[in-house]
């Protein structure tokens, strides 16, 4: 068999392995992603639990990079602390190494079982969770099959005259081998796939154990680069955890490489076979990094923050300052059209602040702390201040001679501003109280109850954005759709309440404990939706599309 054909078969087997790994990861994310994210948030306060949670997620997702990106987003949103995020990532690397070890066992019998069972589950039902489990099983079957194919495809390389020359070269130049392994891992976007490939080739006698350990160190460097590259355009807070992982794992691998080049230790203690030695070296390296990372988590996080801050342009701070400038130009009061445009700009800023409050409040129901609660309350203070300034500005404007249309627009903006201020009060004075009660008493919603609340909140948030658009565009069709959504939301409220009372009747403990919080939150969200929907009424009244408080039949 020619060398090009051998390489073609090997490339095909590697491609199947990458596809199968992605298939398992996708299936887990679609079937259990929300539950796993919720569990991660709930356990990140305890350092040991953070490590275990990261380990479990990496095993489930078949990817430590996915966990790093997830934890980085949590840290950027303030949901978890930076130190806890670092520990969770350390655990994720251990989980990824464990997956690699499991896949090196003889699992040949699982191939047909996984393929048959997975295909049947995927095709025999329309249930989303069953179909995703089927996807996971098929992915596992293909992953094991790809390892067999890599072994078979690489078999002719054992007789190649060129292969020993290449191996001898890299054995004598460990730095180049280290960098090559890092590049391969970055191209694969998976440390699991890279280590499995090297372990399989070592098992066929194509890679010496000593060279294999060097390559494993390169794999860890390449894997630690992936997340920082994927988040290079993200917010600074999101990038800190991936950069911290690069500091610990990337620099750790480089230090280990230098020590190996100086000490030249034997690797026989790592396992009986070359394949075992490579995989066990991968596990041992990540265990060492975990142990070193426990006391250094806080220090690494602070160093990561400083590194990320170096890449933030100074103009960004000025841009944030500009967003706080007021659009209420007193000099424009003599020109009503300009003054109304200025007031509209300022009311839109209030809309943006209220939207942020509405988005953050549901996050606090899931995970809250004193700092984030104070930050949300501070946003309400900003809304109150802008509300007062806008009312005074428009009151001054009414002293001028206004056309009928200008007077109506003035009243519309004042009304919208009042409603936005009331929405902010509901969020802070009602819903934040529910948040404090939930966490002070250690309460938790049922999974079904939480899904109902988040779905209801998502609908209200979507309607809020529609209401803000109507305020600017004054589009009659959008206003009409917004009022129709109010009726649909009323039906959703009834369904959610009925489901909640059914759980109460069945004696579900969590439903009983959180009953008042659940029902009060639904009521508050409904009231918010009503206030925001009423912002569309002036547009509909102007076009004669309202009869009393109801839409006319179209």
DSSP assignment of 104-115 equals TS--TTHHHHHH
Q: What percentage of the chain carries pLDDT values higher than 70?
A: 87
216-228 average pLDDT score: 90
Determine the pLDDT at residue 320: 38
- Point out the least confidently predicted range of 306-320, 419-433, 437-451, 497-511: 306-320
pLDDT band at 287 (very low <50, low <70, confident <90, very high): very high
Most confident of 5-14, 81-90, 543-552: 5-14
368-381 average pLDDT score: 81
User: 546: helix, coil or strand?
Assistant: strand
> Is residue 462 within 8 Å of 359, Cβ to Cβ?
no
Q: What is the pLDDT of residues 491-508, one digit of tens each?
A: 887 887 777 777 777 666
Determine the pLDDT at residue 501: 77
Pairing of strands 546-547, 550-551: antiparallel
> Is residue 202 within 8 Å of 181, Cβ to Cβ?
no
Nearest Cα neighbor of 130 from 272, 2, 245, 30 is: 30
> Is residue 259 within 8 Å of 77, Cβ to Cβ?
no
Q: CA-to-CA distance for 395 and 418, rounded, in angstroms? A: 14
343-361 average pLDDT score: 90
- Point out the least confidently predicted range of 33-37, 377-381, 512-516: 33-37
Burial of 321 (0-12, 13-18, 19+ CB in 10 A): exposed
Q: What is the pLDDT of residues 168-186, one digit of tens each?
A: 888 888 999 999 989 988 8
Summary mean pLDDT of the chain: 81
Cβ neighbours for 34, distance < 8 A, ≥ 6 positions apart: none
Neighbours of 1 (CB within 10 A): 11
Cα 194 from chain centre: 25
Determine the pLDDT at residue 43: 65
pLDDT band at 321 (very low <50, low <70, confident <90, very high): very low
Determine the pLDDT at residue 551: 52
- Point out the least confidently predicted range of 189-198, 307-316, 414-423, 428-437: 307-316
Determine the pLDDT at residue 42: 61
Determine the pLDDT at residue 284: 92
Nearest Cα neighbor of 367 from 465, 449, 450 is: 450
pLDDT at 318 over 80: no
pLDDT at 89 over 80: yes
pLDDT at 307 over 80: yes
Q: What percentage of the chain carries pLDDT values higher than 90?
A: 12
pLDDT at 258 over 90: yes
Most confident of 112-121, 187-196, 377-386, 498-507: 112-121
Determine the pLDDT at residue 315: 46
- Point out the least confidently predicted range of 214-223, 412-421, 508-517: 508-517
- Point out the least confidently predicted range of 91-95, 314-318, 332-336: 314-318
User: 551: helix, coil or strand?
Assistant: strand
pLDDT at 316 over 90: no
pLDDT at 272 over 70: yes
pLDDT at 47 over 90: no
**Per-residue tokens: 334:** 């003599």
**What domains are defined for the chain?**
3-310 (no CATH), 330-551 (1.20.58.220)
pLDDT at 317 over 50: no
- For residue 474, report the phi and psi dihedrals to the nearest 5 degrees: 55, 35
Q: What is the pLDDT of residues 139-163, one digit of tens each?
A: 888 888 887 887 777 777 666 677 7
């Amino acid at each position: 068999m020619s060398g090009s054909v051998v390489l073609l078969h090997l490339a095909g087997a590697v491609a199947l392995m990458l596809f199968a790994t992605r298939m398992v990861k996708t299936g887990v994310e679609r079937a259990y992603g929300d539950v796993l994210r919720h569990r991660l948030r709930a356990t990140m306060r305890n350092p040991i639990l953070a490590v275990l949670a990261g380990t479990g997620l990496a095993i489930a997702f078949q990817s430590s990079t996915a966990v790093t990106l997830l934890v980085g987003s949590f840290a950027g949103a303030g949901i978890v602390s930076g130190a806890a995020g670092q520990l969770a990532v350390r655990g994720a690397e251990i989980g990824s190494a464990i997956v690699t070890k499991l896949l090196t066992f003889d699992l040949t019998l699982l191939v047909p079982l996984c393929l048959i069972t997975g295909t049947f589950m995927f095709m025999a039902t329309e249930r989303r969770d069953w179909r995703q489990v089927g996807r996971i099983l098929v992915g596992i079957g293909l992953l094991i099959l790809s390892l067999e194919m890599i072994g078979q495809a690489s078999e002719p390389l054992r007789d190649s005259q060129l292969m020993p020359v290449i191996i001898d070269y890299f054995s004598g130049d460990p730095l180049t081998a280290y960098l090559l392994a890092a590049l391969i891992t970055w191209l694969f976007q998976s440390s699991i796939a890279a280590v499995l490939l090297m372990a399989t080739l070592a098992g066929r006698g194509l890679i010496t154990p000593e060279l294999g350990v060097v390559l494993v160190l390169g794999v860890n460097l390449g894997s630690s680069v992936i997340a920082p590259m994927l988040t290079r355009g993200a917010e600074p807070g999101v990038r800190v955890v991936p950069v911290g992982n690069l500091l610990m794992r990337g620099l750790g691998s480089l230090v280990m490489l230098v020590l190996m080049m100086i000490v030249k230790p034997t690797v026989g203690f790592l396992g009986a076979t070359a394949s075992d030695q490579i995989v066990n070296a991968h596990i041992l390296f990540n265990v060492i990094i975990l142990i070193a990372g426990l006391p250094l988590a806080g220090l690494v996080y602070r160093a990561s923050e400083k590194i990320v801050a170096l890449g933030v342009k100074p103009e960004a701070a000025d841009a944030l300052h500009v967003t706080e400038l007021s659009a209420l130009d007193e000099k424009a009061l003599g020109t009503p059209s300009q003054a109304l445009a200025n007031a509209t700009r300022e009311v839109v800023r209030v809309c943006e602040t209220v939207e942020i409050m509405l988005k953050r409040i549901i996050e606090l129901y899931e995970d809250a702390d004193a700092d984030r609660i104070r930050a949300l309350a501070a946003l309400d203070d900003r809304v109150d201040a802008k509300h007062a300034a806008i009312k005074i500005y428009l009151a001054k404007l009414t002293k001028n001679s206004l056309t009928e249309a200008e007077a109506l627009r003035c009243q519309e903006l004042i009304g919208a501003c009042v409603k936005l201020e009331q929405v902010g009060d509901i969020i802070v004075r009602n819903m934040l109280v529910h948040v404090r009660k939930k966490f002070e008493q250690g309460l938790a919603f049922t999974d079904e109850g939480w899904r109902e609340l988040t779905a209801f909140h998502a609908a209200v948030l979507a309607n809020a954005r529609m209401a803000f658009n109507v305020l600017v565009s004054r589009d009659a069709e959008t206003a009409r759709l917004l009022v129709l959504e109010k009726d649909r939301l009323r039906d959703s409220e009834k369904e959610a309440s009925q489901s909640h009372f059914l759980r109460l009747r069945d004696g579900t403990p969590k439903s009983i404990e959180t009953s008042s919080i659940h029902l009060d939150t639904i009521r508050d969200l409904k009231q918010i939706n009503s206030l925001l929907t009423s912002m569309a009424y002036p547009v509909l009244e102007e076009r004669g599309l309202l009869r009393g408080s109801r839409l006319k039949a179209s």
